[in-house]
């Protein structure tokens, strides 16, 4: 009989829905022993929590996360609430020996993230941070290509993460979804929200980032606060660009903004090495582009008129995660990245090989984010301390 994995979900917003979908579909696609049970949904508004619980099939609701974290009938605490809540919920959940799945960014700052990593380790509870882009099959294929040594000595890493939804000064700060513009709730702007993803992917593919120099900009400096109704200063970074030096000696550029008119969730990266390059664009997530120089050279004769980038449609059953879905040539979507992440987490529990990124690993991304913000303030290169 399947072992139960009883879920306590904190937050019913964007990620609350994405994760609930993953819990419901896990056993339809992945042959794992555990079966998620949607036990409790928690949000501060009883009415909204009820509507969410009914829609997704949660057994009951709570309006105080402390009750969920203390519930004996809950095995996993899933933190899908804004960034300023992650620390308290995770620390209490670890104390209560719950498994913890936490949304990114792990914390508001390195100090919190260090404590959170220590807490889950001391409690000995399985934990993971939802850096779901690692679970896009094409990005996981890029990782496989790097690990197979097909890129060779890396020289350049280039990441962009662009959106355009905060250009109007009429967009308020604070409240549902717009908490992202309130520095006291979000911790930072695009750095923690968008670049955290780019940094996690970059360090997964290309190793640690040793030092950074950054510039941030806040284009709209005052906005009405949705909670207080007052015009208040904006404390987040609307845009951030930074240069990075990886521990392996390669150079990186990272750019993120919410002011790139026309760009909705434009997330790309390219890695260039001596033997090859990979390029990914989230607007065509089923494709990974790959240029393989090494293999061209090893042929008897280099047919240079036929060289070029390969656009790999990452939908064969040999591609990461794809054997669990449909036939080659058919695609999966954004929601499956959460399903794939959950499957990895559950497999980790069952095999004893914990899924990554766990809190300790996500702490490294937090270190880079904090170093980026510090550099933007000081105008100096800042050592990240990653890997210490």
Alpha helical stretches, state H, 154-278: 183-186, 190, 196-206
Residue 292 beta carbon to ligand NAD: minimum distance, rounded to whole angstroms: 30
**Whose CB is nearest to ligand NAD?**
13
Is residue 356 close enough to count as binding ligand NAD by CB under 6 A? no
Is residue 199 close enough to count as binding ligand NAD by CB under 6 A? no
Is residue 12 close enough to count as binding ligand NAD by CB under 6 A? yes
Is residue 375 a contact partner of residue 359, using CB atoms and an 8 Å limit?
no
The dihedrals phi and psi of 173, each to the nearest 5 degrees, come to -110, 155
Is residue 263 a contact partner of residue 255, using CB atoms and an 8 Å limit?
no
Residue 56 beta carbon to ligand NAD: minimum distance, rounded to whole angstroms: 12
Is residue 98 a contact partner of residue 76, using CB atoms and an 8 Å limit?
yes
Binding-site member from 8, 82, 189, 273 for ligand NAD (CB under 6 A): 82
Q: Which is nearer to ligand NAD, 81 or 250 (CB)?
A: 81
Task: Determine the 3-state secondary structure of 90 from DSSP.
Answer: helix
Only one residue has tokens 């992917």, namely 201
Is residue 80 close enough to count as binding ligand NAD by CB under 6 A? yes
Residue 179 beta carbon to ligand NAD: minimum distance, rounded to whole angstroms: 6
Is residue 267 close enough to count as binding ligand NAD by CB under 6 A? no
Stretch that binds ligand NAD, among 5-13, 225-233, 274-282, 286-294 (CB under 6 A): 5-13
- The H or E element containing residue 361 is helix 359-378
Helix 137-147 to helix 196-206 angle (10° resolution) is 30
Residue 42 beta carbon to ligand NAD: minimum distance, rounded to whole angstroms: 5
Stretch that binds ligand NAD, among 76-84, 306-314, 347-355, 378-386 (CB under 6 A): 76-84
Is residue 81 close enough to count as binding ligand NAD by CB under 6 A? yes
Is residue 10 close enough to count as binding ligand NAD by CB under 6 A? yes
Binding-site member from 7, 26, 40, 43 for ligand NAD (CB under 6 A): 43
Cα angle, residue 216 at apex, residues 215 and 221 outer, rounded to 5°: 150
Residue 266, strand partner residues: 162
How many residues touch ligand NAD under the rule CB under 6 A: the total is 23
Peptide bond into 267 cis (omega under 30): no
Is residue 129 close enough to count as binding ligand NAD by CB under 6 A? no
75: region left, alpha or beta (phi > 0 left; psi from -120 to 50 alpha): alpha
Binding-site member from 147, 149, 176, 265 for ligand NAD (CB under 6 A): 176
Strand 154-162 to strand 222-224: parallel, antiparallel, or no bridges (unpaired)?
unpaired
The dihedrals phi and psi of 227, each to the nearest 5 degrees, come to -85, -45
Q: Which is nearer to ligand NAD, 109 or 277 (CB)?
A: 109
Binding-site member from 14, 169, 295, 318 for ligand NAD (CB under 6 A): 14
The DSSP annotation for 5-65 comes to EEEEEE--SHHHHHHHHHHHHHHHH---SEEEEEEEEE-S-HHHHHHHHHHHT-SEEES-H
Distance CA 157, CA 278 (A): 10
Distance CA 364, CA 370 (A): 10
Is residue 237 close enough to count as binding ligand NAD by CB under 6 A? no
Is residue 56 close enough to count as binding ligand NAD by CB under 6 A? no
Is residue 47 close enough to count as binding ligand NAD by CB under 6 A? no
Is residue 161 close enough to count as binding ligand NAD by CB under 6 A? no
Task: Determine the 3-state secondary structure of 186 from DSSP.
Answer: helix
Stretch that binds ligand NAD, among 12-20, 150-158, 217-225, 349-357 (CB under 6 A): 12-20
Is residue 231 close enough to count as binding ligand NAD by CB under 6 A? no
Residue 204 beta carbon to ligand NAD: minimum distance, rounded to whole angstroms: 14
Only one residue has tokens 């990653």, namely 386
Stretch that binds ligand NAD, among 6-14, 114-122, 206-214, 219-227 (CB under 6 A): 6-14
Residue 84 beta carbon to ligand NAD: minimum distance, rounded to whole angstroms: 8
Where does this chain bind ligand NAD (CB under 6 A)?
10-16, 42-44, 65, 80-83, 85, 103-104, 130, 132, 176-177, 193
């Amino acid at each position: 009989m399947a072992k139960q994995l009883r879920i306590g979900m904190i937050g019913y917003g964007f990620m609350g829905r994405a994760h609930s979908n993953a819990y419901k579909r896990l056993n339809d696609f992945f042959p794992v022993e555990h079966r998620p049970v949607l036990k409790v949904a928690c949000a501060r508004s009883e009415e909204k929590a009820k509507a969410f619980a009914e829609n997704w099939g949660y057994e009951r609701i709570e309006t105080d996360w402390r009750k969920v974290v203390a519930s004996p009938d809950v095995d996993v605490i899933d933190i899908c609430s804004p960034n300023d809540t992650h620390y308290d919920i995770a620390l209490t959940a670890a104390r209560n020996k719950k498994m913890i799945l936490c949304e990114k960014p792990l914390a508001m700052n390195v100090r919190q993230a260090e404590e959170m990593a220590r807490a889950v380790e001391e409690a000995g509870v399985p934990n993971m941070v939802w850096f779901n882009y690692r679970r896009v099959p094409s990005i996981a294929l890029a990782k496989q290509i790097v690990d197979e040594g097909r890129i060779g000595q890396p020289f350049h890493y280039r990441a962009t993460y662009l959106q355009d939804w905060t250009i109007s000064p009429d967009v308020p700060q604070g409240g549902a979804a717009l908490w992202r513009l309130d520095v006291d709730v979000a911790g930072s702007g695009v750095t923690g929200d968008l670049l955290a993803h780019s940094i996690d992917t970059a360090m997964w593919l290309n190793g640690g980032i040793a030092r950074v120099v950054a510039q941030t900009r806040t284009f709209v400096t005052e906005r009405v606060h949705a909670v207080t109704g007052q015009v208040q200063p904006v404390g987040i970074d609307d845009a951030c660009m930074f240069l990075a030096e990886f521990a392996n000696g390669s150079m990186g550029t990272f750019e993120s903004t919410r002011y790139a008119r026309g760009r909705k969730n434009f997330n790309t990266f390219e890695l260039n090495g001596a033997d090859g390059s990979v390029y990914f664009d989230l607007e065509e997530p089923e494709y990974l582009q790959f240029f393989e120089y090494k293999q061209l050279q090893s042929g008897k004769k280099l047919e240079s008129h036929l060289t070029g980038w390969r656009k790999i449609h990452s939908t064969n059953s040999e591609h990461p995660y794809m054997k669990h879905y449909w036939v080659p040539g058919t695609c999966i979507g954004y929601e499956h990245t959460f399903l794939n992440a959950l499957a990895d987490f559950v497999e980790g529990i069952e095999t004893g090989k914990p899924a990554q990124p766990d809190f300790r690993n996500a702490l490294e991304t937090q270190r880079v984010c904090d170093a980026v913000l510090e550099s933007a303030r000081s105008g100096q290169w800042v050592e990240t301390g990653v890997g210490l």
